[in-house]
Structures are given as structure tokens and as C-alpha cells.
Structure 1
């Protein structure tokens, strides 16, 4: 028994030692600009990122990330790292987003690339391996994108995942596991998960409708039919509109000048509409016909659907109407536990941001109140000055 336990401990240690962190960027100082490259793709008006903790924070130095700084701009910034493949490994992509500007329309996601990325020419059509993160535009779009590239085709997840839409920092984590399953975490909590094959249309469907099958001609799928014994009542047909019986020709109406007078038409209270026989159960009803399915000859299972042959870059490729989003804590690893520990202080950061913002809001409200009171006092002083002005009588002018 001790031998088995020893083997288990050794195996666990080996697995832990094999786990790797491929990129971890916390933007702790201004040297980040040496590692990240702006795109110079022609025809786009690109905005710049600035390193800052923003307007409110928990720890100003610790909470600094890179913030979009110009409204109505595209943003294209990327960094490369040592290339790796994910065969037999989990893939974790994680980062934090703080829409402190209360974003109205703009992206907050990242794109992960292979080594073919030309960083100085990165743009919206640059091929990528996956795209992940929040996207907000108006009240109708508040979602987390999860797009995977398979056989050079970008495929969006077929589930709706709602993103956070407040002004505080939130973490987004995508875990693609080597057993072809995945998880999307927001603030460390599972927001979605399942099987890659089930939640993306990465492969042709396993089953298709049998092309040889057709609904039999005598198949009756009408649940009800018109009652053959029902007949239209003799007094059914009434006109929809009738002359108003209470209308009278105006006294000043001249038939020769105005033409023959006709009373206005009104809705007929006896009008019953188009008659149709009542419905009864169809004795020949066989139910809804279901098209039989057969195995799809174009379907081939892929046991390594999760696998990425090469990953070596990550970037922000965004459009924002109102700037102010802060990105931070960018992490790419195959170690799920390490990613979890990296976000251990998130709750404290959020609490600190909320407290700091509440204090700032209070100061701003008090300043605005004082300004309003000062304005009212000035207006009262002006009114008093007008009241104190001497009144010059006409007689005084005459004396002069």
C-alpha cells in the first residue's frame, strides 16, 4: 500500500512540474511596451493604451493595467511568447477587464494566435486560433464570445453567456481540457461548460435526415378538420359597414352644388365576419410525421478536437465607442490551479474599488452641492444689488 502511495505522490509531483505558464502579464511597470507591439495596418485609426489603475481602485500601484484612452478608435496590440502545443494538456486563457467608463459599445476580449501572426499588420481579418471575452453594445448585446478556429473556420459557441456590465474589475477564464470539454468562468465561478463537439458546430452532425425517406402521401398530420356537418346559418351574411341611421343631411346641403347626399358609413354591429365551419378531431390523424435520420457519411469523430498545434501570441483587437477599459492579469497556462490562485485576491480588489468609488462619488456630490449653493447665493446677491440701486425722479433731472 505504501508503494502505491509513493508512486501516486511521485506521479502527482511530476505532473505538477510539467505544468507551465506560457505568459503572465500584470503590466507592473512601463517595460510592458517593449513586449507588446501596436499594429500599423493601413486604413485604421488606432488608439493608444496607457498604463493606469483608473479613477478608482483598491491598490493604485498593484491595480495598474493598460487602458484604452481614445474614444471611437480601433485598438490592435499583441505580444508573442515561446510557442507551444496543447496535445495532452489543458489550455487556460485568463485576464481581467474593468469597464470603468460604463461602456456603451465596445469589445473587451482577447484573441489567441499561432506564430504566423504579423503583429505590425494585425487587424480584424487576421487568422486566430480562438477569441474569448466580453462584448457589450447597447442593451441587446452583453455576451461572452467564445470562438474557436477549426479547419480554418471560426466557429462561435452556440450558447449565450452573459458578461458583467458594471464598472468594476472582473476576471474571465476559458479552460479547454484535453478530454474535449471546456469551462467558462467569470470571477472564478462557472458560467458555462460542456463538450466541445456539442456546443460548437466544429464537426458535421452525426445524424442527418434520410434523403431517401419521404412522408407517405396518405399521411394525415392534421389534428383537427372542419366539421363536415356544420353549415352556415342563413342570417350569417351581413355587410361589414352600413349607412349611419342617425345621420341627417345638413340644412345647407345643396344637391345641385354638392351632389347627391349620402349618409356616412359606420361599422355594422351585426357583421359576423367570414364564416368557417367549426373544427373537430380528425379521425384519420396519425400525428406529426418525423423525418427518419441516418448516420452522416461526412461525419468523422475527432478524439483530439481540443488540440492546438501551435500557440504563441495573444492580442487585443477591439473597437470602442467610449474608451476607458482597463485590461490586466493576462495569463496563458496549462495549470488550472495556478490560474485559480492568480485570481485569489479578486474579491478584495472589487470591494476596494467599490469603497473607493463610493468615497469619490460622495466627494463629487458634496462639491456639486456646494457649487450649486454658491451659484444660488450669487444670484441672490445680484438680486439684492438691483434692489439697492437709487431711483432717479424726473424732477431731479429738471432741476439739473
Structure 2
């Protein structure tokens, strides 16, 4: 093999370097220059303030994130990525960490990947702003707890929800959420680097029309018998069955001594359940000899079905921004370590350097925080003055 050929093979074997479109760790005050709070989405009184903090418990007080700080508020925030992501031959990876320091009764904690380019208006960013991907936990009440995976599908001009919900983490520690959308039309969701859902886009989302449909020309035959059981024609109601009343006058009831037929009307004993009553007679059921089974509607190939190799192209025209657009009843959610890249390997490496590096120390800090809370609550309990009870025994 010639040297040039060997060099070409070596270069071809080296994977292309990962692109990072945004990496945000909020560890400097300049984060406010990179992120914009919308001024036209809601009134100032409706928008909650983002707090730059390490939180109530942490691995390192210098490792900060942003936190919702006011109850019953909307929260908006967006940032332009370092460069646009355009769906192509590489995967799309969105990753960030979430921590609920509060008991979250109702509130979103999802992130959005946004198109728009130079036309994107950060001041108006809000719930009606078009997005390419919405991903992350959303909790409201005991019934609505999910990790959103919603993908925009330009071919239908619809936002498609994942068909089977993914439960979110419920404790008060940080968790790392990762979404991967691959060029082979598959996806995968990780929580703390553990895969919690994966599959084909067409199987988990309603991108495509069904492959088969019920034959519109097929009708159930008029003589089709799908009644499995019928009354036994030879089973006859016993004689005298209808003569047994459901209720009878109470034989032990007696007319009150002060009852006046003239004033109170003719006295009648109260009615009670008849112990001889056998209930409504029904003939026993037998197998229907004419039963043909449940009629199954014949299926045919759907003429409207067409496979789309570009389902994964949620950023076909380019995604340029990332943002949060949330409502929270009880504030206290922390966000940190945001990454958008085209390499799961790069995202997992970043997760090891950030989330997993501080995971154990954060847990230790949390445990200490909870112990201090319990001690504080115990110290604040009012003492009962037993002297207030002196002499009370004389009154009883």
C-alpha cells in the first residue's frame, strides 16, 4: 500500500470531531448577557425572577445554576447558540440537569430547541413561539407527571407528543436528562446516563399514517351472529314465581296506641323485604349454536401511507436558540449544565465532568441540609407550660 493510500485510510477511520452548539454552566455573572428574559410575552408582574445561585445544597458553592424564585409565576429565558444546528447526517443531542429543591406540586422544567435564526425575537419568546424540540420533566398534580418528548414535524405542521409517557424523577436531587435523535430515524432518552426509552420515531410518535386501515368497502354480513350466549329456550319460569312479592307487611309491627284513624288515616304496617322473594327470574344462558365469533374488520394497505426518511430532521432549516418557557406554582427548580451537540459520546463525557463529578457531594450536602431542617423544626416547636394544668384535677 502506498503512503498516500495508507494516510487516506487512517484519516477516514478517525471519526469527525463533535460540534458543540451551546454549552452553558452559569458559573459567571456574564450569563445574563448571553440569555434574554422576554419583555413582551407576559406582563412584568406575571414573570418570575431567575435567581443565580448554587442552591440550598451543593457540591461546590462556586458551581452555580439558575433557579426559579417566585411562586405562581411564568418564567421565560432564551439564548442564541454559538452556531446553528442543521439536521443532517449526525445525531442531535440535547442535555441539561434539573433539580427540584421545592415540593413541586405543579410546574414545568422542560427546555426548548428553537428555530428562527436572525428573525428570532427573544423579547417575544413565549408559549406560542414555534419550537423544534420540547424536552424535559413536567409535573402538575398526582396524575400528570411526565418527561416531555415533543418533536415538531414540518410535513404535518404539528408538534408530535411521544405516545407512551416517560415518568420523571421525583426526588429533590439533580438529574441529568439527555435526548438523542439519530439520522436513522431512531431516538433515545437517558436519565443520569441510563437509557429509559428508545425506539423508532414512527413507532413512538405519530409521524406517519398507519400502514394498514380498515377496508372501507367491507361490511359485517347481515346474517353474521356475534352473540355468544342466548337464553335457554327450554328453561321455563317456575309456576307461582310471579306470585311472590318483593316486600311484605312487617308481621311484627303493631298499630301505635296513640294512632287515630280519624286524624292519622288508616294505619298500615311498614313494609319489609320478603324472605321468600327469589328475585327477578331470568332463564339460564347457553352457548349460541349460531355463534360465528367476533367479526373482524378486514384490513388493507393504506394508500396514504408513505415512509419519510427525514422524520428526524426537526432542525431541517436550522435551530439557532434554546430556551425555557415555564409556569410554576411553587418555585425552586434549578437548571444547569446545558449542552447541545451532535455526539452522544461528547454529551456523556460532559456529564461525567459535571453531573457525575458532583453527584455524591451534592447528596451528602442534601442529607446535611435535611438534618438541619429537622433540627430547626424541632427547636421551633413551642414548649408546653405544664403549670397551666396545675389544679385542673380538682375540677373533675
The two structures have a TM-score, normalised by structure 1, of: 0.89
The answer to whether the 8 A contact 2:94-2:179 is kept is yes
Please state if 1:341 is matched with 2:344: no
Moved more, 170-179 or 144-153: 144-153
Q: Using a 3 Å threshold, how does the CA distance of structure 1 residues 83 and 366 change in structure 2: closer, same or farther?
A: closer
Question: How big is each residue's C-alpha offset from its partner over 1:298-354, in whole Å with a ceiling of 9 and x where there is no partner?
Answer: 222101110121111111000000101000111111111010111115345332222
Cα 1:137–1:5 change in 2 (3 A) is farther
Task: Specify the SS of the correspondent of 1:340.
Answer: helix
Partners of 1:334 and 1:340 in 2: how far apart? 12
Instruction: State how far apart, in whole Å, the 2-side matches of 1:58 and 1:334 are.
Output: 29
Pick aligned residue for 2:152 from 149, 174, 181:
149
SS in 2 for 1:350: helix
Q: Note the C-alpha offset of 1:7.
A: 6.1
Out of 354, 365, 373, the position equivalent to 1:364 is: 373
Measured in 2, the distance between the counterparts of 1:299 and 1:192 equals: 26
Task: Map residues 1-400 of structure 1 onto 2, 5 A cutoff.
Answer: 9-13=10-14, 15-17=15-17, 19-44=18-43, 45-62=46-63, 64-81=64-81, 82-115=83-116, 116-151=119-154, 152-237=157-242, 238-307=244-313, 308-309=315-316, 310-344=318-352, 345-372=354-381, 376=383, 379=385
Q: In structure 2, what is the Cα distance between the partners aligned to 1:198 and 1:181?
A: 9
Partner Cα separation in structure 2 for residue 292 and residue 5 of structure 1: 59
Answer yes or no: is the 8 Å Cα contact 2:97–2:355 preserved in 1: no
d(CA) in 1 for partners of 2:8, 2:230: 74
Larger Rg: 1
CA distance in 2, matches of 1:20, 1:279: 71
Aligned to 1:390: none
Q: Aligned in 2, Cα 1:337/1:5: closer, same or farther, shift over 3 Å? A: farther
- Work out the CA distance in 1 between the residues paired with 2:309 and 2:375: 63
Alpha-carbon separation, structure 1, partners of 2:131 and 2:178 = 18
Unaligned runs of 5+ in 1: 388-400
Alignment coverage as a number of residue pairs: 379
Q: Is the deviation greater in 315-324 or in 220-229? A: 220-229
The answer (yes or no) to whether the contact 1:117–1:127 under 8 Å persists in 2 is: no
Give the structure-2-normalised TM-score: 0.90
Q: Unpaired runs of 5+ in structure 2? A: 392-396
